[in-house]
Structure 1
Amino acid sequence: MKLSPSPTPDRLLQAVAAGDSVRVVAATTTHLVQEACRRHKSWKTATVALGRTLTGAALLASSLKTSERVTIHIEGRGPLGTITAEANAQGEVRGYVQHPQTDVPLRPDGKLNIGAAVGKGVLHVIREGGFEIGLMEAYRGSVPLVSGEIAEDLTYYLSSSEQIPSAMSLGVYMEAGDGVVGAAGGFLVQVLPGADESTVAHLERTVAAAPPITEMVRAGATPEDLIREALGELDWRPLAERPLKFVCACSLERTERLLVALGVEEMQSLLAEQGQAELICHYCNAVYRLSADDLQRLIALETAG
């Protein structure tokens, strides 16, 4: 495989092929997965599982409009617990795993056993629109986990719940040292109405023959390279691209609004019992501490109103 020079930032590329009867999206996500690992202090198995889910969310979000977002929520019964990843149309991705300091024994082939760490359970995909202007419209689809390996589960979801024949490949490579993400990325291929049988057969062969995502990204593959491997000799044309980054929407202002929503009595209880309030964002692990003066100010504003 001839590789292009690998760009430093993470990037997502959308394209169509075979007379616009095939949609393909590819992304490199090494840096955003590394940032998630750093924020959550996650161990190898947890980082790989979360990284695959973050990358999957970025791929699903590629078709969103400006004020839309998609959330993947995995309710696994394995030691990792739940995994949640959210992405929007601007390429902003965030997420967390319930038990980040989790590892499990390796598989017989020496690879990380993500399926065992996730366990059996349910995969939910929530698509929301209008959240930026307060007009929430949500579509929720759920399917049983088929393997816990994330890519297979998302492929099954797209084919069964959204009725779109799809193939997804995701990968995260961890270096020998703890907490170092060597490579991450993925691609999504979807067959649209109008695709002929020969195109479908060709895609089945090329997707199955594509090298592992981590192998390609470690070698310097760009999203363009991933698309070429997924499509083989099919002609394709790019549609749009965007940078990807781990970004969380939390803030001190949002934290104060959350406290206010709890009510005056709850804030008074926090003030009397703890003398302060401390809230931790699940998505990015940021800690927000509000002093006694802050609580008194919020209480005064609410009682005055």
Structure 2
Amino acid sequence: MKDYLVKALAYDGNIRAYAVRTTETVREAQRRHQTWRTASAALGRTMTAGVMMGAMLKGDDKLTIKIDGGGPLGPILVDSNAKGEVRGYVTHPEVDFESNENGKLDVRRAVGTDGLLSVVKDVGLRDFFSGQVPIVSGELGEDFTYYFATSEQVPSSVGVGVLVNPDDSILAAGGFIFQLMPGIEDEIISKMEERLKTIEPVSKLIERGLTPEDILEELFGKENVKILETMPVGFQCSCSKERFADAIVGLGTKEINDMIVEDGQAEAHCHFCNEKYLFTKEELEELKKEAK
């Protein structure tokens, strides 16, 4: 099954909901960055939340999430957009711990709880929208829930999960976000509070083969869900050799000449996708001409 996202309404428009399967997306991130199990879970949860948050945008809008909780993982960075494209990396991919007291990957210990979750949105205006909140859990689902409630003043619930095999490969990944609309009845809120106490972890639902539509039906009941739209999602990086070439030109002739004299070549590395681009001496000479 390919990864995709579903946008929906529940309870006659009183709840806005998103659900997504990101197994292949997180699998690609793990392959590119060779993340160990706990690092994979933290990066995968962040990417899953990021792709759903991107789906809330429009057109060419995009956003960047940074999570820096002071833990051994270091900062996690994720970019996403309104087209279902997401990319991300963790500063220290070789992080793993024994399972926590609940028998689960100890994401909290890896992420840390002394720092901030930051979101910067580029919606095509001169100024970016930015919001940040303290990390309250380190498990990330609760942290994104707190972000929506505090920074965007939208009561929300965020569930994100990643199951990782003993050999570090990704077994299942996905998530949901639902948000309460103004004027929602207390009875519906109480129903959802009770449902969140009993529903299986979202990664388990994905592992059982449930689709994003099925996850929403598990949350709200089939009769209460109205599907609005589905869209494919996947790992996609915007880097290219041409972009790096433009950046090298921007350094100016002196810097480019230093590269030619000292190394005879240059290598550019994209942190987001781990691709490397080699520029030969001849290519650098051409870029130096452009810089003039």
Within the candidate set 95, 118, 128, 2:122 is matched to 128
Written as runs of structure 1 = structure 2, the 5 A alignment for 1:152-301 is: 152-178=142-168, 180-232=169-221, 235-301=224-290
Written as runs of structure 1 = structure 2, the 5 A alignment for 1:34-45 is: 34-45=27-38
Q: Which runs of 5+ in 2 are unaligned?
A: none
Q: What secondary structure does 1:63 align onto? A: coil
Deviates more, 1:111-120 or 1:26-35: 111-120
Q: What secondary structure does 2:71 align onto? A: coil
Q: What secondary structure does 2:243 align onto? A: helix
**1:239-278 Cα deviation digits (max 9, x unpaired):** 1110011000000100101111222211111111111111
TM-score (norm 2): 0.97
Q: Does the 8 Å CA contact 2:51/2:86 hold for their aligned counterparts?
A: yes
Quote the sequence identity (%). 41
What letter matches 1:228 in structure 2?
A: E
- Whole-Å separation in 2 of the counterparts to 1:48 and 1:92: 19
Shift in CA distance, 265/207, structure 1 to aligned 2, threshold 3 Å: same
Q: Which runs of 5+ in 1 are unaligned?
A: 1-7
What letter matches 2:22 in structure 1?
A: T
Q: Does the 8 Å CA contact 1:71/1:125 hold for their aligned counterparts?
A: yes
CA RMSD of aligned residues (A): 1.2
Shift of 1:296: 0.5
- Whole-Å separation in 2 of the counterparts to 1:206 and 1:105: 30
Number of residues paired by the alignment? 291
Within the candidate set 5, 11, 16, 1:18 is matched to 11
**1:115-162 Cα deviation digits (max 9, x unpaired):** 0100121000111123xxxx6541000000001111110000000110
Runs of 4+ in structure 1 deviating by more than 6 angstroms, as ranges, are none
Q: What secondary structure does 2:187 align onto? A: helix
Q: What secondary structure does 1:275 align onto? A: coil
Written as runs of structure 1 = structure 2, the 5 A alignment for 1:70-81 is: 70-81=63-74
Shift of 1:104: 2.5
